[in-house]
């Protein structure tokens, strides 16, 4: 193969006039039509001076055109860097500068805010809107609908995905063609995807789940997707009769269960429901099965590895677990201090090894060495244990990661901003249970002596620099933070104290 990822996921569909994307307005885009658009985009990147190995950063709405940008990058050998559409200009600036992106694609409405970002970074700014319009697409239509695929090796980089660090500095996880391709192939086979499947796709595509799991699996199998801009309950219910599979975060399933229109009859023809990106409550498992007769399949993955484990397609899908290691992937529980493998049943840090594991962090050799062992095992930062039957249970995290609605949030980034606010002596940011998002952000503040904090002003100030999903939902003022004898803030105590804040108790 000249380009394993393109040839296996995209190239084999050239000339196929069967549907690939079905939009909620009734529009149908064939496999070949999609590839012709992507080829024009690949030409346009070349016209902008972008070559194989260069980076393209995109902060654009989910659309067939935005997905075609991903395909164009793969075909042209460009490293694809998708960014959360909620990120502020300050956040985008770091990603563009750190990655050395040659081009930033954004929505026209953000061009004025982001122009200084690209100017500082020496990058080009192009626009692409959710309806497919924009400066980039206007230029691309003049190009041919075929493009000579650039030769790439399986070990060449295909994408950067940035993941937060405990210091607040994001890390660019380098994913190779082999990383993405191995996971797509394994998951398609494990979850029995075929060209007859129709995936209900309401996930964002700037995230591993929606792009490298949902989309890549569908492409590998040759199926089609009902491609929704975002999760819309009415649209999900309207389109479910035409689908066979669905992937979502726990919020999707709790919202479906809250609607009386979601019935067993509506879901009876569905083949598979998959959940990930955040823990699914056992009560959601039970309620969903009672309502529909379907047992949700939960799996475990992360930015640096894509998927590592999965509950079985055939066999018991055990609530509260993430199943077994995928074929070709090794998972072990180790002592965090010694690195020694622990006996079954004991809690320790989760380490994984396999063709899915990333190559390292961009321009961070020290951080790569800390988390990626010489023998290929990646230290995930999660704590887990194997139950008596070998199912993996995630029991916590040895970092202070918060997962809200499927998005990773590190408290340190928020704390650094809060500590700069007028009158704030110190802060501690924690995640507490939330019925809709799994977890949500709460900030505990200590005021400087004699100061009464203006919480509304602080919330507004911090919100200007943070994506909405990172913004604290509640600010709490305490006279002091709980500490141990070594002076370390006891966040576990804070989480326990405010565990019921959003439960209604």
Instruction: Give the model confidence (pLDDT) of 350-366 as tens digits.
Output: 999 999 999 999 999 99
- Rounded alpha-carbon distances, angstroms, from residue 75 to 26, 66, 172, 364, 480: 28, 15, 22, 27, 56
pLDDT at 347: 85
Distances (CA, A) of 213 to 3, 82, 199, 246, 312: 19, 14, 12, 12, 16
On whether the 402-497 domain is CATH 3.30.300.30, my answer is yes
Would you list the domain boundaries of the chain?
Answer: 402-497
pLDDT(168) > 60: no
Q: How far apart are CA 91 and CA 170, in angstroms?
A: 10
DSSP 3-state assignment of 47? helix
Q: What are phi and psi of 475, to 5 degrees?
A: -110, 125
- Asked if 413 contacts 405 with a C-beta cutoff of 8 angstroms, the reply is no
* Beta strands across the sheet bearing 438-447: 424-434, 438-447, 474-477
Per DSSP, the three-state class of 432 is: strand
Give the least confident one: 92-96, 198-202, 277-281, 321-325.
Answer: 277-281
- Cα 1 from chain centroid (whole Å): 29
Report pLDDT for 166.
Answer: 41
The Cα 402–Cα 164 span in angstroms is 11
Q: Sorting pLDDT into bands at 50, 70 and 90, what band is 284?
A: confident
Q: Highest-confidence range of 94-108, 156-170, 478-492, by mean pLDDT? A: 94-108
Instruction: Give the confidence band of 397 by pLDDT, cuts at 50, 70, 90.
Output: low
In the predicted model, what is the mean pLDDT of residues 165-185? 86
pLDDT of residue 65: 98
CB atoms closer than 10 angstroms to residue 317: 20
75-79, 190-194, 334-338: range with lowest mean pLDDT? 334-338
Instruction: Return left, alpha or beta for 388; rule: phi > 0 is left, psi -120 to 50 is alpha, else beta.
Output: alpha
Confidence of residue 89 (pLDDT cuts 50, 70, 90): very high
Does 167 score more than 60 pLDDT? no
CA dist 414 and 397 (Å) reads: 18
* Average pLDDT across the chain, whole number: 93
Tokens encoding 160: 């950067």
CA–CA separation, 4 and 152 (whole Å): 7
Pairing of strands 392-397, 28-30: unpaired
**Rounded to an integer, what distance in angstroms lies between the CA atom of residue 283 and that of residue 219?**
33
**165, pLDDT greater than 50:** no
pLDDT of residue 485: 46
Q: What is the pLDDT of residues 190-208, one digit of tens each?
A: 999 999 999 999 999 998 9
Report pLDDT for 228: 97
Please say whether the beta carbons of 298 and 321 come within 8 A: yes
H-run or E-run covering 379: strand 378-386
DSSP 212: I
């Amino acid at each position: 193969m000249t380009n394993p990822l393109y040839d296996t996921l995209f190239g084999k569909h050239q000339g196929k006039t069967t549907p690939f994307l079905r939009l909620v307005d009734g529009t149908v885009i064939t496999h070949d039509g999609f590839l012709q658009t992507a080829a024009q985009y690949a030409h346009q990147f070349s016209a902008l001076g972008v070559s194989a190995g260069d980076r393209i950063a995109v902060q654009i709405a989910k659309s067939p055109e935005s997905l075609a940008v991903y395909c164009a990058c793969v075909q042209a050998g460009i490293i694809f860097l998708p960014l959360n559409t909620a990120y502020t200009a300050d956040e985008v600036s770091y990603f563009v500068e750190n990655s050395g992106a040659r081009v930033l694609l954004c929505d026209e409405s953000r061009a004025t805010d982001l122009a200084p970002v690209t100017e500082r970074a020496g990058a080009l700014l192009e626009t692409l809107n959710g309806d497919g319009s924009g400066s980039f697409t206007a230029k691309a239509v003049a190009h041919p609908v075929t493009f000579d695929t650039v030769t790439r090796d399986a070990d060449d980089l295909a994408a950067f995905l940035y993941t937060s660090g405990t210091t607040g500095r994001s890390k660019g996880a380098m994913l190779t063609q082999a990383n993405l391709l191995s996971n797509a192939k394994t998951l398609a086979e494990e979850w029995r995807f075929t060209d007859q499947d129709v995936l209900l796709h309401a996930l964002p595509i700037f995230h591993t789940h929606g792009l490298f799991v949902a989309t890549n699996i569908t492409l590998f199998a040759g199926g089609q997707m009902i491609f929704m801009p975002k999760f819309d309950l009415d649209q999900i219910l309207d389109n479910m009769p035409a689908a066979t599979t669905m992937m979502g975060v726990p919020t999707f399933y709790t919202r479906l269960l809250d609607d009386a229109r979601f019935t067993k009859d509506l879901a009876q023809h569905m083949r598979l429901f998959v959940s990930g990106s955040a823990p699914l409550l056992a009560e959601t498992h039970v309620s969903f099965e009672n309502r529909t007769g379907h047992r949700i399949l939960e799996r475990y993955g992360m930015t640096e590895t894509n998927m590592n484990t999965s509950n079985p397609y055939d066999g018991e899908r055990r609530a509260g677990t993430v199943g077994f290691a995928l074929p070709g992937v090794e998972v072990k529980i180790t002592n965090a201090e010694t690195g020694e493998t622990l006996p079954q049943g004991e809690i320790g840090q989760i380490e994984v090894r396999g063709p899915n594991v990333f190559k390292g962090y961009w321009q961070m050799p020290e951080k790569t060495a800390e988390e990626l062992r010489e023998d290929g095992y990646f230290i995930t930062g999660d704590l887990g244990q194997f139950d008596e039957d070998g199912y993996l249970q995630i029991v916590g995290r040895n970092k202070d990661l918060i997962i809200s609605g499927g998005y990773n949030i590190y408290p340190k980034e928020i704390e650094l901003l809060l500590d700069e606010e007028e009158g704030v002596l110190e802060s501690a940011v924690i995640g507490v249970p939330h019925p809709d998002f799994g977890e949500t952000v709460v900030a505990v503040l200590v005021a400087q002596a004699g100061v009464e904090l203006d919480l509304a002003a602080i919330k507004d100030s911090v919100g200007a620099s943070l994506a909405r999903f990172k913004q604290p939902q509640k600010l709490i003022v305490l006279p002091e933070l709980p500490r141990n004898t070594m002076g370390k803030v006891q966040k576990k105590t804070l989480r326990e104290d405010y565990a019921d804040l959003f439960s209604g108790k």
